[in-house]
Chains A and B, each alone.
Chain A
Amino acid sequence: MLEQISWMLFLMALAAIVGMLLFKDKPNIIWFIIFAELALIIRFVFIFIMFSNGTEYSGTDGLIYHQVAKDIARQLKSGIPVWNLKYEYTWYTVLVGIQYAIFGVNRYAASFVNSFISILTGYYLTAIALKLKFSDRRSFIIGTIYMFIPSMIVWTADTRKESLIFFLIVLIWYIALKVIKSRESSIIRQILLIAGVCVLIWLSTLLRIYMLYTISGALFIFLIFYYIKTRRRLALIFCFTVLVFSLVLNFTTVRNNMRDHHALAMDRSKSGDEDLDEELSSIFTTIMEKDVAESINSFLTKPHLDDVPYITDIAANTTAIIIVKAEMLLWYLGLVISIFGIMHAFIKWDPYQIGILAFIVSYGLINALISENVPDTYYRYRAAIIAPMLLFVDYKSFYQDIKALIMGKQYSHQS
């Protein structure tokens, strides 16, 4: 227990320090840090409740990753270097394995680290909002909401890879924005940041195979539009680098990891496991069998309120059912409001926001078309677009622009 407490205190202190460093020049930052700490504590409490109730019994990915990580820790201790490790399922297990090898096997600690990463995601989401010139208040509200979304707490508390996926998505977009906005940076720093984006794309691809296409494609759209708008050569170089790197990943990492794609009901009645063509044809068959409109509906709106009590993991838990239902209602509300934010991004012709939108749309479409048609799966996979989606949940800016236009002001592309 002492070990657990030490981990929790260390991570809480780290969260406070990172928050202070990241937002040092912002007023009233203390409240935001307090909320972040609170979100972290909620996750810690949830981890204790979850493990005491025997999450293994109800079944999650977390357990199996923990077991693989234990094996990786054993390999590391026996002297096998990191690049020669044998691991299954996902690269995330290597990360946990390294933690186990250094600090000893402790699933609580691995879950605490995941919770901390989730808080970092909230920080960087806030930082993006601030860099996009959203008001301080709105930016901090976006970050706080993200950290307190109930399903986010669930997905990011266990030893699952979700926390890391969400973090990588937000971090990639944060760095991309930093590359473009920080004009005073030296060339070496810019090269390092661009290389960092490429490495993060690679890691995301290792975690979820189709992230390569969604992130690279969206970055491509952002950078091309940005170049068209500003004619900055840096954007073109960045865009070209991402494109070339993605092509390399497509023929290396993607090919090697194709068969491990999660949540895709592939046909394995024939011995096609090692055959890429079989895998691809299986994916296309799955897509062709789907009702596109229905699938998009399901991805964006499931679990519908009626489905909630039937989600296996929360069935018969009234509190959990009420929380999920409330979250779903808020999500629907957020979706409707974000339509205005999306239109505003278009009329402002903001390349960055259009790029993020491209990521949301492509990620949504891929998941709607290839994921299994199960509310729980849609619910979990949709979580990756919640953070970027929050950047659009604003009706005011659009309303004010339209009101001004109707009242007689002419529209221009000045800013």
Chain B
Amino acid sequence: MKNKLVKILAVIAVPVIIIFSMTVFGFAQPQHGYQISDYDVSVKIADNGDLNVTEKVKYSFLGNSNNAVILIDKRDGEKIEIKKVFTLVKDKLIECEQLSAGQWDANVFNGTYSVLQETNLVRLKVYSSFKKQQGTVIVHYIVKNSVKRYRDIALFDRTFILENWNGHASNIDIEIKLPRYTDAANIKPYLHGVLVGQKDVTDGRTIKYSIPDTVPGEYVEARVVFPEDLIKNAQITSFKNYMRTILEEEKEYSESDKSHLLKARENAAKEAGKRAWNEKMTQKRKLFLTIVSIFTSIASLLILRRGYKELQINQETESFELKDIPKLTPQEAYFLLSGKVGARGILAGLFSLASKGFIEPAFITEEDISGISFRLSENQSAENLEESERYLLQLVKEYSDESGEFAVIKNFAGNLAAEEEIFRENYLTFADKVQCEHSANNKLTINQLYYRNLGLILGVVLFIAGCIISVAFSVLSGYVMLPVGFFVFWYSLNIQRKTPYSIKRIKSLMELKELICTSDRKDKSFPYWMNDANRLIGYSIAIRAENKLHLIEKTLLDKDINIIEKTLKKTLAVLNDSLTVILDN
């Protein structure tokens, strides 16, 4: 049996370990960095060499960030002034408000931005109510002293997608407008940083760049050479001729090794492939785990059903009726019904001892000291008593005073603070003994034991798998395993309450309760054992019917039944409270 269990454990543990290790490595490869689906730039060059730039950036993914960042190229001598920033929310332009450096607070979602001036760039952070990691930002800024003026030419040179930006951008359109018209042949546009892209001088004033996309590692640098007299109000950068230098630089660029750009493309393609593969695997894994979670949940329920059927076997042969109830001690009866011993188990046990003549109850009815006390009877042989009863009797003897009287409330509530630990130990020993007796009477068959243990292990595994699969793999159906696993576990844990032994006895006890609660003595016939008042009280406590005793008797033990009910209620309350204290602390 033990070997079998080890095998079952091993079979179940291996997939769990695999699942667990997958939780660390199995997350879908996330997309990092920004993704821009449209990037439109409009640059107007003023005749003083300043630039008036408007960038419209449409983000299809904000890189798991709560803000959109635009990096603006800043070169030596340049000064960048952010004029206006807008975000597009539901097709409406929302003008953003500038925060002082780095401030971040709740209202950022209204549309705000911060500007961080760094050495070679300006970092513009825009906060808005971006949804699904998407958004559009329009920024209008001025770059002072941007265009360089030489003796022979003027040079516009700016990078729009920075090399270390680490994002993906598509549909990049840049339009540069010169201050005035000139002969198109005098305008020379150059494009750096990408392998594919078009540049075009559309008329004597406008230069257009069109780049289909960029990947991390690529950049977009636009360089335009045009006649210097177009920016006649600009400061002269240098009095030398510069065209020759430009041509040399461009020659150098065109002949340079562009393997890093190829490598960037290759890396991006690899990344995309890896992501696509991961995405595909994630989908497959989700589907697989959905099936697994549903299948294992159903399979576990079927196993539970099989276990339930196993419990039904021989149910007919088990017979237990009202008249047989005294075969069951009241404390076991209560344990059967509630799964615990508690205050009722103790008091019911005491009345059981009373019914067997070992102790004699007395109901104290004085106003201030009402309660129940038990007086020890003449010495009798305790051989025929159950183990738990013997123990209870021993405790009564131990705690009774010199006259042999044991007052329940006084002993429990009065000495509680001083002897809490001892009481706790006594109670747990008594409860343990009741439990052991019950286990001995209510033995599981080998098959029932097998299904109980299987259910316990399966329940735990299912619960754990439910937690891991649902959370780590975002599989909604994985949550089904949580209640199913817990149900399987709980059912198996309490399986002894579902055996024929338990069911028959619980049924009889319920029948007894119904008999007490709904009957009138004239109409119903009670089993003979109910004539014993102490026994009747003991079982009525066990089945929670002690407050209905008046329905069958007017007097018991020569006392008014109402007094007995009241005293029982009080004693139970005190006992219960004391036990809660003992077990709580």
Listed in ascending order, the chain A residues whose CB lies under 8 Å from chain B are: 56-61, 63-64, 89, 180-181, 183, 230-232, 260-262, 264-269, 289, 291-294, 296-297, 300-301, 304, 306-307, 310, 312, 329, 332, 335-336, 339-340, 343, 346-347, 372-377, 402, 405-406, 410-415
Question: Which of these, A60, A339, A413, contacts B463 with CB under 8 Å?
Answer: A339
Question: Which of these, A265, A289, A374, A414, contacts B431 with CB under 8 Å?
Answer: A414
Q: Mark the stretch among B40-48, B125-133, B145-153 that contacts chain A.
A: B125-133
Question: Are B476 and A269 in contact, with the CB atoms below 8 A?
Answer: no
Assembled-state Cα–Cα distance A375/B114 (Å): 21
Question: Are A410 and B435 in contact, with the CB atoms below 8 A?
Answer: yes
Residues of the A chain whose Cβ atoms lie less than 8 Å from the Cβ of B583: 414-415
B165 at the interface (CB under 8 A from A): no
Question: Are A89 and B493 in contact, with the CB atoms below 8 A?
Answer: no
A-B contact pairs, 10 of them (CB 8 A): A57-B101, A57-B102, A59-B103, A264-B109, A293-B470, A310-B33, A336-B20, A339-B463, A343-B486, A372-B66
Residues of the A chain whose Cβ atoms lie less than 8 Å from the Cβ of B247: none
Assembled-state Cα–Cα distance A386/B23 (Å): 20
On whether A232 and B580 interact (CB within 8 A), knowing A301-B27, A410-B438, the answer reads yes
Listed in ascending order, the chain B residues whose CB lies under 8 Å from chain A are: 5, 20, 23-24, 27, 29-30, 32-33, 63-66, 89-90, 92, 94, 101-106, 109-111, 114, 116, 129-133, 335, 338-341, 428, 431-432, 435, 438-439, 453, 456-457, 460, 463-464, 467-468, 470-476, 478-479, 486, 489-490, 493-494, 496, 576-577, 580-581, 583-585
Assembled-state Cα–Cα distance A293/B475 (Å): 6
Residues of the A chain whose Cβ atoms lie less than 8 Å from the Cβ of B435: 410, 412, 414
Which residue of chain B lies nearest to A302 when distances are taken between CB atoms in the complex? B64
Question: Are A262 and B340 in contact, with the CB atoms below 8 A?
Answer: no
Question: Are A61 and B104 in contact, with the CB atoms below 8 A?
Answer: yes
Shortest distance from the beta carbon of A154 to any chain B beta carbon, whole Å: 15
Question: Are A269 and B94 in contact, with the CB atoms below 8 A?
Answer: yes
Residue among A61, A64, A262 with the most chain B CB within 10 A? A64
Assembled-state Cα–Cα distance A48/B156 (Å): 45
Question: Which of these, B94, B338, B581, contacts A183 with CB under 8 Å?
Answer: B581
Question: Are A64 and B105 in contact, with the CB atoms below 8 A?
Answer: yes
Main secondary structure of the interface of A (DSSP, over half): helix
Assembled-state Cα–Cα distance A270/B234 (Å): 45
Question: Are B438 and A307 in contact, with the CB atoms below 8 A?
Answer: no
Residues of the A chain whose Cβ atoms lie less than 8 Å from the Cβ of B33: 310
Which residue of chain A lies nearest to B116 when distances are taken between CB atoms in the complex? A57
Question: Are B64 and A265 in contact, with the CB atoms below 8 A?
Answer: no
Assembled-state Cα–Cα distance A340/B461 (Å): 10
Question: Which of these, B29, B474, B486, B580, contacts A291 with CB under 8 Å?
Answer: B474
Question: Are B106 and A289 in contact, with the CB atoms below 8 A?
Answer: no
Question: Which of these, B103, B580, B584, contacts A64 with CB under 8 Å?
Answer: B103
Question: Which of these, A230, A373, A377, contacts B133 with CB under 8 Å?
Answer: A373
Which residue of chain B lies nearest to A260 when distances are taken between CB atoms in the complex? B106
Question: Are A89 and B439 in contact, with the CB atoms below 8 A?
Answer: no
Residues of the A chain whose Cβ atoms lie less than 8 Å from the Cβ of B340: 412-414
Assembled-state Cα–Cα distance A73/B581 (Å): 49
Question: Are A411 and B493 in contact, with the CB atoms below 8 A?
Answer: yes
Assembled-state Cα–Cα distance A312/B338 (Å): 57
On whether A63 and B24 interact (CB within 8 A), knowing A297-B471, A373-B64, A377-B66, the answer reads no
Question: Which of these, B66, B104, B585, contacts A60 with CB under 8 Å?
Answer: B104
On whether A56 and B129 interact (CB within 8 A), knowing A304-B27, A306-B32, the answer reads no
Residues of the B chain whose Cβ atoms lie less than 8 Å from the Cβ of A374: 64-66
Residues of the B chain whose Cβ atoms lie less than 8 Å from the Cβ of A346: 486, 490
Question: Are A64 and B104 in contact, with the CB atoms below 8 A?
Answer: yes
Beyond the given pairs A61-B105, A260-B106, 16 more chain A to chain B contacts, judged by CB atoms under 8 angstroms and listed by A's residue number, are: A64-B103, A183-B584, A268-B111, A293-B479, A296-B471, A297-B473, A301-B471, A301-B472, A332-B23, A335-B471, A336-B467, A339-B467, A347-B490, A410-B435, A412-B340, A414-B583
Residues of the B chain whose Cβ atoms lie less than 8 Å from the Cβ of A412: 335, 339-341, 431, 435
Residues of the B chain whose Cβ atoms lie less than 8 Å from the Cβ of A180: 584
The 7 closest A-B pairs by CB, nearest first: A59-B102, A269-B89, A293-B474, A293-B476, A297-B474, A413-B340, A294-B474
Residues of the B chain whose Cβ atoms lie less than 8 Å from the Cβ of A373: 64, 133
Shortest distance from the beta carbon of B472 to any chain A beta carbon, whole Å: 7
Assembled-state Cα–Cα distance A350/B82 (Å): 60
On whether A265 and B129 interact (CB within 8 A), knowing A64-B103, A412-B335, the answer reads yes
